[in-house]
Structures are given as C-alpha cells and as structure tokens.
Structure 1
Amino acid sequence: MKISTKGRYGLMLLVDLAQNDNGQPVALKTIAERQGLSEHYLEQLIAPLRNRGFVKSVRGAYGGYILAKSGSEITAADAILTLEGPLEIVDGEVDDGFHDLWDRLQESIRSVLSNVTLQDLVAMRERQQGSYMYYI
C-alpha cells in the first residue's frame, strides 16, 4: 500500500492551514509557495476537502481558505481517506491464509491515522523545525 501525492499533499495543505490559522483566509498560491507544491495541484485537492467540510472558501480580493473546524477536530485519516479513498493493504479478497494478518495491519494503520490530528502534526513539524542548530 502506498499513499499517493494526493494524500500527502492534501495533508500538507491542511497542516499548513492549521499552522497558519489566524482567522484570515490563506490563498492556495501562498500555501503552494510555502510548501514547495504546485498551486494547480492544490486546486484539485481542495475541492474534496471543502466538500467534506474540512475547509471553507472565502471569496474576494483577500479571499482564500480557512479550516472549517479546529485542527484538533480533523485527523490525518480524514484527509487521507477523503483524497485516497479506502485504504486497502491487499487488492481484493485474498485467500492466502493470512487474512487476519492483513486485517490487523489495516486496522493498525487506520488507528494511527485516526489518532493523529492536524494539531498534533503542527506540533510535530514545529518540534522538527526547532531541532536544527544553525551556525554562521
């Protein structure tokens, strides 16, 4: 199983919105520049996230996107499953004698994704960014 760029970039988009949540909408162009992603690709990802109620769009000259819920209410599973669809460890029904193993593995992945919020990911990112020492 592999999570595609849709899932990864969509999660990055949501984390960026959570990390820069000051009540003001953020343009996709700004997020694309901050994250080093394609604005055009983010435009394709934002629609399903908006349709599921995770982000709201704000029209106008200073428009953009804001989170529709707090970062503590949106999980990594919300983003990944919205953009990737159901996560399957193996394709189709497999009768190889390891059905229980595949089910347990799939449930473990779902559990991890369901127990990590955008707020958690913001904190992880900030810890990682703060752990570097720069010398001049």
Structure 2
Amino acid sequence: MKRTVLAGALALISLPAAAAEQATTYPFDGSFDDATFAVESAIVGRGLVIDLQSHVGDMLNRTGADVGSDVKIFDAADIFLFCSATLSREVMEADPMNIAHCPYGIFVADQGGEVLIGYRNYPEGEMQNVQAMLDDIVQEALQ
C-alpha cells in the first residue's frame, strides 16, 4: 500500500515539461517551509485530515547516487495526501472507479529557489468538484 501511494505521489511531482498540462501549478512568493505550512494549514483548516506528507524531494536527493544519477531535481518537494469523506462519497457514488483518484494530493516543490504549489488535473465530470476543492485550498495557501 505504501509503495503504491509513494508511486502515485512521485508521479504527481515528477512531471516532464511536455506533460505540464497534467498539473496545475502556481508560484509561491516565499520559502518552501512557508509554502508547506500554508498548504498544511489550508487543508487542516477545512477539517480535512492529512493522511501522509510525502517528502519526495528528500527521497530523490537521498537515493540519486543509488540509482546512478547525480541530477538534483528539487531542492525540496513534499506532497500532502488527504481525502474528503463528503466529496469522495459524491464522486464515487457517481462512478465507483473514481476510487482511482483517491487520495487527493497537493504538492510543494522548490527548484532553484522557485517555489511552486500545485495539484494533478482531474478528468471531466464529477472529478472536477475535487479539482475545484484543490484549487480553493491552493488559493488559500497562496494568500
């Protein structure tokens, strides 16, 4: 289970430039630590529980040499994984296979001092309600 969640989380943040349309990102005017605090506060402030804060940047930096790479992708990168019981029920009652999109994630990444906050884009239909929630949380974090 943890391996599957980590693989999904890694897929969220390891997007090549050509696949940028798969994620929505916003620049954050501040430090990585300030951005992660703002995202965490915005999620928890809505009464949502963070299931996992994945430290993807640390993992990539720690394991680069082990996989034969000296490329530093991120200075830091975290992904916050969480669910909304209300929204999850709504989208899965519409289509039980929407389970494939759960949990939902918001990532914070620092590449060379440029801090970004973003999330994966979801398919048309009921999942757009989830995407709207993610965008609302990110917009709050950006303020």
Scaled by the length of structure 1, the TM-score of the pair is 0.29
Q: TM-score, normalised by structure 2?
A: 0.28
- The structure with more strand, counted as a fraction of residues: 2
Say which one has the larger Rg. 1
